[in-house]
Amino acid sequence: MEVDILGKTPPEVLADIGGDYALTEAQITRFRRQGYLKLKNVLSAPTLAWYGAEITAQVLRLNQQHKPLSQRNTYEKAFLQVMNLWTKSDRVKEFSFGRKLAKLAADLMGVRGVRMYHDQALYKEPGGGITPWHADQYYWPLSNANTCTVWVPLQATPLELGPLAFSATSHQFDLGRDLEISDESESQINAQLTAKGLPVDEGPFDLGEISYHYGWTFHRAAANVSDRPRNVMTVIYMEDGIRLAKPRNKNQQSDWDIWMPDAKIGEPVATILNPVLYHY
């Protein structure tokens, strides 16, 4: 763990990240029906600035992607991806363990508790490419579908920066679930979603607006055609009690090795890297 020499978190920021967001029954129903939910005014501008500065510093320090955009493949062009920042910085840990975001995850999924799968920063550079259509749970060897990601833009995210877009109700259909993020997932999943006529929600995000999506909800993002970076932090939650499933592909094997070391197939995932983040 790095020593945090950046000072103490202001009380109003702590109160925000540790606070409560009053969800309505209609929002919970909508999340479960459409597979994602966008929520406005969840985190304040000072909160996003406080944690955002540290997340950006850690992304710049830990980023391993140094090829120019023109020499990268589609996945590599989509974003700089730096994972499990909570293990590197106390300040990021405060963000990723934030009670407000974790309780929202538990309440939206309707589970008694949630654990950390991993966190990750996803920084789409100016000129960065599309994030192809995909469903995250293709990568996760987990026993049920009670998994979700909170996507937190660290600035207002108009269309030209490449906000996250969702295929509404797509978590209910078993299509394209065996495709990793690639040109192939973009074209094949797009064709299947279009054939089914599922609506795509590709609106901008205001400052303080965030989204949650299930592990099986198909989503993508447009290219960043602006001259500014699109800085985003995410936390992936899984139901407390979810079990390790036998890996179905090499990516799931690799996730087991990296994010759930020592977990055993068929047993609840509860390793040192998967702490409980909220529990009733």
Ligand X SMILES: O=C(O)CCC(=O)C(=O)O
- Which residues contribute to the site for ligand X (CB under 6 A)? 78-79, 122, 124, 131, 136, 149, 151, 164, 219, 221, 232, 234
Shortest Å distance, C-beta 72 to ligand X: 15
**Shortest distance (Å) from residue 185 CB to ligand X:** 11
30: burial class by Cβ within 10 Å (0-12, 13-18, 19+)?
middle
Is the CB of residue 211 less than 8 Å from the CB of residue 37? yes
Closer by beta carbon to ligand X, 118 or else 124: 124
Q: Which residue number, 50 or 151, has a Cβ lying nearer to ligand X?
A: 151
CB closer to ligand X out of 91 and 219 = 219
Diameter of the chain measured on Cα atoms: 54
| Closer residue to ligand X, CB minimum distance, 13 or 221 | 221
Location of structure tokens 């795509």: 200
Secondary element (H or E) of residue 252: helix 250-259
**Smaller CB distance to ligand X: residue 210 or 221?**
221
The least distance separating ligand X from the CB of residue 219, rounded to whole angstroms, comes to: 6
Q: How far is the CB of 103 from ligand X (least distance, A)?
A: 19
Cross-strand partners of 167: 200
| CB of 217 closer than 8 Å to CB of 166 | yes
Q: Which is nearer to ligand X, 90 or 201 (CB)?
A: 201
Kindly state the smallest distance separating residue 149's Cβ from ligand X, in Å.
5
Beta pairing class for 200-201 and 164-167? antiparallel
**Shortest CA distance to 16 belongs to which of 108, 98, 105?**
98
Tell me the closest approach of the beta carbon of residue 52 to ligand X, in angstroms. 15
Query: At closest approach, how far in Å is the CB of 180 from ligand X?
Result: 12
Cα–Cα dist 132/205, whole Å: 19
Q: Output 130 or 273, the one with its CB closest to ligand X.
A: 130
CA distances from 68 to 73, 127, 179, 231 (A): 11, 11, 26, 18
C-alpha 232/C-alpha 252 separation (Å) is: 24
